[in-house]
């Protein structure tokens, strides 16, 4: 899978994507990355990429020309990849969208800066605006890195055991279970005994119960979307009863 990223900060993208799971995916050729810097396509002496806003107001606006030239150069490499602008106004990115995009041959991500991108560029070239949350950051780069990471993890062979991707939060609609490693006994507490039991069915049931319980406590909206089977219903009721007795609620 190809990622083509339009950004004024290609080093940020390359360095962040050069480490960890995504870095290994790049090294092994499971993904490819090209960055396209609109400043390289600004042909005036000052390599201008921003302009004052028509109608007045604070800040500057990302100009069409350098963006268009960078986009056209990227499209020669990326072909018909969807063109996505990272924006707080966009549709919310989620795991379903990550799964969908992991099936594509490529993705073209546009990282805005300044006060935003000239609307005529958005209207003409952007297929979709995508948000990773209801907040504003300094540029589209960090949201773009979030998306490339979430999508790359889902590509075949990227994670050592694809099961770990399946058990990741949101892969089956519930939050993740707690994780523990050595030491068995620390100042901060002990590892839950069930995890030391070697009884894999009990461990699996305990983990499922913790996932369902965490989802009930923190993200009841996700729980509302699930059709829990009888086993899950029993596990969740067990968790709720244990939780309520722990906090002294009848
Ligand atoms: C800034 C802004 C502020 C209030 C309401 C809407 C807004 N849109 C933007 C915007 O698109 N800004 C551009 C991209 C330029 C400034 C930095 N940019 C940005 C993208 N800030 N935050 C994001 C973003 C992208 C995806 N998910 C969350 C935030």
pLDDT tens over the chain, length 250 residues: 999 999 999 999 999 999 999 999 999 999 999 999 999 999 999 999 999 999 999 999 999 999 999 999 999 988 889 999 999 999 999 999 999 999 999 999 999 999 999 999 999 999 999 999 999 999 999 999 999 999 999 999 999 876 555 656 666 889 999 999 999 999 999 999 999 999 999 999 999 999 999 999 999 999 989 999 999 999 999 999 999 999 987 6
**Cα dist. 101→148, 182, 209 in Å?**
10, 37, 31
pTM listed for this prediction: 0.91
Rounded CA-CA distance 51/62 in Å is 7
Question: What was the pLDDT predicted at 151?
Answer: 97
Question: What was the pLDDT predicted at 78?
Answer: 85
Contact 137 CB / ligand 1 (< 6 Å): yes
Is 118 in the active site? Answer: no
Question: What was the pLDDT predicted at 249?
Answer: 78
Is 88 in the active site? Answer: yes
Residue whose CA is at the smallest distance from ligand 1 atom 6: 88
Q: Contacts for 159-167 with beta carbons within 8 Å, 24 or more apart?
A: 159/21
Is 14 in the active site? Answer: no
The length of the chain, given as a count of residues: 250
Contact 38 CB / ligand 1 (< 6 Å): no
Contact 89 CB / ligand 1 (< 6 Å): yes
Beta pairing partners, 129: 85
What distance lies between CA 135 and its chain's CA centroid? 15
From 88, 121, 146, the mutation candidate for ligand 1 (largest count of ligand atoms within 8 A of CB) is: 88
Contact 12 CB / ligand 1 (< 6 Å): no
């Amino acid at each position: 899978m190809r990622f083509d990223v339009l950004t004024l900060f290609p080093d940020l993208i390359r360095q962040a994507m050069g480490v960890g799971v995504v870095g290994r995916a790049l090294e092994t050729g499971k993904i490819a990355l090209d960055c396209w810097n609109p400043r390289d396509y600004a042909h005036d002496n000052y390599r201008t990429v921003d302009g004052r806003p028509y109608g007045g107001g604070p800040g500057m606006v990302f100009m069409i020309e350098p963006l268009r030239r960078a986009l056209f150069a990227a499209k020669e490499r990326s072909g018909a990849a969807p063109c996505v602008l990272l924006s707080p106004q966009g549709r919310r990115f989620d795991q379903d969208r990550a799964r969908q995009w992991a099936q594509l041959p490529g993705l073209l991500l546009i990282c805005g800066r300044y006060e935003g991108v000239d609307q005529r560029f958005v209207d003409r070239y952007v297929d979709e605006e995508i948000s990773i949350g209801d907040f504003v950051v300094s540029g589209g780069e960090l949201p773009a890195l979030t998306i490339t990471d979430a999508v790359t993890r889902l590509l075949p062979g990227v994670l050592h055991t694809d099961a770990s991707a399946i058990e990741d939060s949101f892969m089956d609609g519930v939050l993740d279970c707690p994780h523990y490693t050595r030491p068995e006994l620390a100042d901060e507490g002990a590892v839950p005994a069930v995890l030391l039991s070697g009884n894999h069915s009990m461990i699996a049931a305990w983990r499922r119960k913790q996932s369902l319980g965490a989802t009930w406590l923190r993200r009841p909206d996700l729980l509302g979307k699930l059709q829990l089977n009888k086993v899950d219903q029993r596990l969740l009721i067990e968790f709720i009863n244990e939780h309520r007795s722990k906090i002294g609620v009848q």
